[in-house]
Amino acid sequence: MVKVVAKCTVKAECIDEYIKISKELVEETQKEEGCIFYSLHQDVNDKAVFACIETWESQEALDAHLQSAHIKRIVPTLREMRLSSEMNVYKDLFEA
């Protein structure tokens, strides 16, 4: 399995729109083959900070996700609303 934590800070004036647009991204991604878990979270102390937590069956499934039509269509719009972002990919060390 592959885990992803994608964290970003959104411009204050864009928070509501970011959430609205992200809803479609989450819904479409959850339908993808190889997606085990995909969810967007908002920081309780800073409403401008978001984290997308993901679990994929394999690196190949993640790679396919990153090339999907909805990623290519939605992410550029979300990117314009961000002040900063980072994406970290992790592998399980003690996979059951």
Any domain includes 24? yes
Q: pLDDT tens track of the chain, all 96 residues? A: 999 999 999 999 999 999 999 999 999 999 999 999 999 999 999 999 999 999 999 999 999 999 999 999 999 999 999 999 999 999 888 876
Considering only the C-alpha atoms of the chain, give the largest distance between any 2 of them, rounded to a whole number of Å: 43
Any domain includes 21? yes
- 91/80 Cα distance (integer angstroms): 29
Any domain includes 96? no
List the domain range (segments joined by +) for residue 60: 2-86
Cα–Cα separations (whole angstroms), residue 63 to 19, 34, 88: 24, 10, 14
Any domain includes 92? no
Q: What is the pTM of this model?
A: 0.91
Give the DSSP letter of residue 43. -
**Residue 20 token pair:** 């609205």
Q: Looking at residue 59, which CATH number applies to its domain? A: 3.30.70.100
Any domain includes 14? yes
Q: What pLDDT score does 96 carry?
A: 65
Let me know: does 58 contact 34? Beta carbons within 8 Å: yes
